Structure 1
Amino acid sequence: MTSVTPTFVYDGDCSFCTTCAEFIERRIPTRARIVPWQFADLDELGLTTEECEEAVQWVSDSARGSGPDAIALLLRDAGRFWQVAGGFIEFGPVRLAAWPAYRWVADHRHLLPGGTAACSLPQAQRDALFGKSS
C-alpha cells in the first residue's frame, strides 16, 4: 500500500467550510494537506464523493475518520494544545454529543457566517445550477 500524506478533506464549494479550512491553515499547525474534495484524488485517498458530501474526512496511514472524528484526528496531529482539544472531542460523552452537533452545523452551514445558499445544496444540484466541479 502506498503511503498517504495525512489529508483533511472538506467541501470546497461551501463558503463556510472554506472559511473553516482557511482558519485551520492559518492557525492550526498540522502536517496534513487541507484540500477541498473537488480537487482531491478521492481514489488515492480511498474516499467516495458521497462520503465527502456527507462530512469532512481525515485520511492518514494510521487513521481514518469523518465529521467530528476527522476534526479530532486533525487536532491530535497538530501537537501540544491542539492534541488536548482533539482528545477532548474523542472522549466518550463528548464524542456522543459531537456527532449531533456536527450534523446540525452541516445541515445549517448555509446560515452560518461565511455560508451561502449554495452550501445547503447537494452536489448534484450545485452542478446543475453552477456547472460541474473539477
Structure 2
Amino acid sequence: MTERARTVVWLLVALFGLAAVGLGIVATVVDLDTSAQLATVAGSVGGFLGFALSGYALLRPPAAGSGRIAATAAGTRSVAAGGSIGRAVTGDRASLTAGPVTPEAGTSGSAQANGERGIAAGGEVGEAITGDDTRS
C-alpha cells in the first residue's frame, strides 16, 4: 500500500470515528429518534460510497507493475518471457552438451521480442542460442 493510500485510509477511519462520536452526542443531548434518523442517512450514504468504491476498484485498469506480466514475441522463432529464461534455443541443429542453465532469481516485467529468432525476458536470461549448427 502506498503512503498516499495509507493516509486516505487513516483519514476515513478518523472521519467515521468522529461521525460515530457525533451520533452518540446527538443521541445523548437531543433525543434517540433524531439520532436514529441521522444514523440511517449516514449509513445509507456510507453504503452507497462503499458500493461506488468497490465498482471503481473492479473496473479500473491495473497499475504498472501490478503483477501482470506482458510478454510478446513477434517473428519467426522468437521467444519472450515475463520472467527469467534459463535457456532459449532458436537455431537449427543445435547440440546441447551442457546441463540446463538456471538464471539467478530476478525481477519480472514486460518483454517484447521482435524479428526472427529474437529473445527477450523481463528477468534474467541464462543462455540464448540463436545460431544454426551450434554446440553448447
Q: Which bracket does the TM-score occupy, shorter chain normalised?
A: under 0.3
What TM-score does the superposition give when structure 1 sets the normalisation length?
0.24
More strand by share: 2
Flag the structure with more relative contact order, 1 or 2, with Cα contacts below 8 A and sequence separation at least 6. Answer: 1
TM-score by length of 2: 0.24
